[in-house]
Amino acid sequence: MHPSQQIKLYGLDNYFNELVNLYNKKKMPTKILLSGKKGSGKATLAYHFINYVLSGFEVNHYDLEKFTINEINRSYKLLLNNSNPNFFLIDLIDDKKNIEINQIRQLINYLSKSNFNELPRFILIDNIEHMNKNSINALLKIIEEPNENIYFILIHNEKKTLLSTLKSRCLTFKINLPFNKTIEIVNKLLDKDLLNFINIELINYYNSPGDYYNLINFSIENKIDLLDCNLINFLNILIDRGHYKKNKFAKDTLVNYIELYFLKRYKLSDTKNKILSTYQAFIKRVNNANNFNLDEESLFMEFKSKMINE
């Protein structure tokens, strides 16, 4: 489910209330950065806050007690139809590696037009770590100009580096979820106990709620019994079936669980330095493969033959 469609907010009550308090006290910064693990609910938090503000004068406004968007409120419907005049989204386009300068030019065109009402306008930029140099420079010029009643909310995956000149211009909210909170959120999203779906060996303390939720859906779609899979089984399935070639989530999941594999080996190994250097070399090669379109199949097959099947 896309964050814009998630009508309930789980586990981020404190962050939401802080944003609401800042806005109601007229102390809301015009540039906010939500930074944390991918899948931690940053974008969902942003959509809920935006709906809270934009639906404030509607009959079916945001339910502040239940942290729930009313599905029949006008602001929500307009946003889903991509026709809300007070909302502009910039995100990474499918099959693109970067948020491109043309997307920022479209934003400039949007901001040049007069507002049709007195409500604030929200610019939501998701996956901002994927902006290239040209698009970031263009964005910096926009956010440095005083724009009345316009708020920028930037979503950042903390595993990726963000240009300091952009980060320094924002109030940063660091979204951190302890493991027990992560499991609580996943159980609410699934409406079932996560351990009914997944082998304990695949429980990664560093996973986000979105990681688990998407993993369950991925396993159902691809007929993978996660209850019957230990870590080695799961890695073999992902590599042998070539799932990482078919979609980005599968590749990210494969790398994520290879990291878990190295972590487990590291904890049990008497030669920790060797394991650590092997892991660092592997991650460097993964990053190079991403950055320079290098062959990934040979990389993962080599990992399987040298590590899993050694």
Alpha carbon distance 256, 220 (integer Å):
19
What would the mean pLDDT of 210-215 be, rounded to a whole number? Answer: 96
pLDDT of residue 246: 86
Find the mean pLDDT for residues 168-187: 95
Q: What's the mean pLDDT in 267-293?
A: 90
Q: What is the pLDDT of residue 110?
A: 95
Domains of the chain plus CATH, in order, are 3-175 (3.40.50.300), 179-308 (no CATH)
In this structure, what token pair is assigned to residue 171? 């109030």
Q: Specify the residue for token string 């989204």.
A: 89
The band of 96, judged by pLDDT with boundaries at 50, 70 and 90, is confident
User: Between residues 132 and 106, which one has the greater pLDDT?
Assistant: 106
Whether the CB-CB separation of 71 and 107 falls below 8 Å is answered with: no
Q: What is the mean pLDDT of residues 56-68?
A: 97
**Residue with structure tokens 């903390």?**
158
Q: Which of 27, 46, 26, 25 is nearest to 35 (CA)?
A: 46
Token readout for 63 is 């339910």
Under the banding of pLDDT at 50, 70 and 90, the label for residue 146 is low
Instruction: Measure CA 133 to chain center.
Output: 21
**Percentage of the chain modeled with pLDDT above 90:** 83
Report the chain's mean pLDDT, rounded to a whole number: 93
The three-class DSSP label of residue 40 is coil
Residue written as token pair 């079932």 = 192
- CA separation for the pair 190, 309 (Å, rounded): 34
According to the model, what pLDDT value does residue 287 have?
Answer: 87
Q: Using the 8-state DSSP alphabet, how is residue 114 labeled? A: P
For 308, which DSSP code? I
Residues 6+ apart with CB under 8 A from 65: none
CA atoms within 13 A on the CB side of 256: 22
pLDDT at 225: 97
Residue 132 banded pLDDT, cuts 50, 70, 90: confident
The pLDDT confidence band at residue 310, using thresholds 50, 70 and 90, is low
